[in-house]
């Protein structure tokens, strides 16, 4: 498509086993890329930590075993093929992976690659969910807070004819994510996720996992006049069932495309970034209607501060 009109695809993945090699995973990413090419897609979005199994589900003490899940270069030996094929097709992509920097920092990262093969954006996950220590009472661990450092900002980039931002999984549940990106002009927000269907601290939320997934992304899209693309690694991976339901959402909050099963699957929608204007320039005209002077609690405070007890004397 042309200009600010894009055909955008979710490149949803099913489970990746612990034994599956990077090469095998890249074969699957390439298969989705070929389907995207047949469908004349401009941009395909892959999930969070898309090159390996979701390793934070295990408590691992051996640092070299942990580091085997991380990439030290991007593109690297396994992903070079993906970059080359995408460039040959003229398709852009966004990919989540575990990043180990040359100076030894570890992040949960997502990149944005333009249609010419250049990496134009890199985002490091800000909201790290789960816990730091081995919690043996859980059926499985969620040790992102042990294995990753948190990223520090929400950046936007000029790409694909518009302004693009990224967020990763748990970030999508926080309204601050979308608002910070929208304040940076975001028209298109790309989000990869791995969401276990079982939430150990409060299993009463399990049945609502799909509802909450769409609720937060649809709200984020509407309240900020953005397109939002959410992409899962779904299905039962190493015994843990994870949500699929990847989707493309319009600035109206409506879902334009959604996957139908929990395996590798392509779904796409045609979007026009100009459609953001009808929301950004009316009901959500930030310059006209926002009241940042009334919002100081958002940045001055971390937790809740309830009103002081009333004194009756």
Binding residues vs ligand CDT (CB under 6 A): 48, 129-130, 142, 169-170, 173, 193-195, 199
The DSSP line for 50-108 is TTS--GGGS----HHHHHTT-BSSSS-TTTHHHHHHHHHHT-EEEEEEEEE-TTS-EEE
Identify which of residues 164 and 191 has a Cβ nearer to ligand CDT in the complex.
191
CB of 199 to ligand CDT, least distance (A): 5
Identify which of residues 221 and 275 has a Cβ nearer to ligand CDT in the complex.
221
Is residue 253 reached through a cis peptide bond, with omega within 30 degrees of 0 on the bond before it?
no
CB of 128 to ligand CDT, least distance (A): 8
Identify which of residues 53 and 85 has a Cβ nearer to ligand CDT in the complex.
53
CB of 174 to ligand CDT, least distance (A): 9
Query: How far apart (Å, rounded) are the C-alpha atoms in residues 270 and 43?
Result: 11
CB of 80 to ligand CDT, least distance (A): 26
Active site residue 125: yes
Query: 167-200 burial string, b = 16+ CB within 10 Å, else e?
Result: bbbbbbbeeebbbbbbeebbbbbbbbbbbbbebb
Identify which of residues 238 and 272 has a Cβ nearer to ligand CDT in the complex.
238
Query: How far apart (Å, rounded) are the C-alpha atoms in residues 76 and 51?
Result: 12
Q: Which of 125, 144, 226, 247 is catalytic?
A: 125
Active site residue 247: no
Residues known to be catalytic:
48, 125, 169
């Amino acid at each position: 498509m042309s200009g600010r009109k894009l055909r955008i695809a979710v490149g949803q993945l099913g489970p990746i086993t612990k034994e599956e090699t990077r090469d095998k995973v890249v074969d699957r990413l390439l298969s989705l890329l070929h389907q995207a090419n047949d469908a004349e897609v401009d941009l395909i979005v892959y999930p969070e930590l898309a090159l390996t199994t979701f390793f934070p589900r295990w408590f691992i003490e051996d640092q070299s075993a942990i580091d085997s899940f991380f990439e030290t270069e991007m593109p690297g030996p396994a992903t070079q093929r993906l970059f080359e094929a995408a460039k040959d097709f003229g398709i852009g992509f966004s990919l989540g992976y575990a990043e180990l920097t040359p100076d030894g920092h570890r992040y949960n990262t997502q990149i944005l690659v333009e249609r010419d093969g250049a990496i134009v954006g890199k985002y490091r996950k800000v909201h790290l969910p789960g816990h730091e220590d081995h919690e043996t009472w859980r059926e499985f661990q969620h040790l992102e807070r042990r294995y990753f450092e948190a990223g520090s900002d929400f950046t936007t980039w000029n790409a694909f004819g518009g302004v693009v931002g990224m967020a990763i999984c748990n970030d999508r549940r926080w309204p601050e994510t979308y608002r910070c990106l929208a304040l940076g002009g975001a028209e298109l927000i790309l989000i990869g996720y791995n969401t276990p269907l079982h939430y150990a601290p409060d299993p009463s939320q399990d049945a609502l996992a799909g509802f909450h997934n769409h609720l937060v992304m649809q709200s984020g899209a509407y309240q900020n006049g953005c397109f939002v693309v959410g992409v899962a690694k779904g299905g039962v991976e190493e015994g843990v069932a994870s949500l699929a339901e990847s989707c493309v959402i319009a600035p109206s909050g409506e879902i334009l495309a959604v996957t139908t099963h929990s395996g590798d699957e392509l779904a796409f929608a045609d979007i026009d970034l100009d459609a953001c204007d009808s929301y950004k320039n009316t009901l959500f005209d930030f310059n006209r209607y926002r009241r940042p002077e009334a919002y100081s609690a958002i940045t001055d405070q971390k937790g809740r501060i309830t009103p002081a007890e009333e004194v009756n004397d």
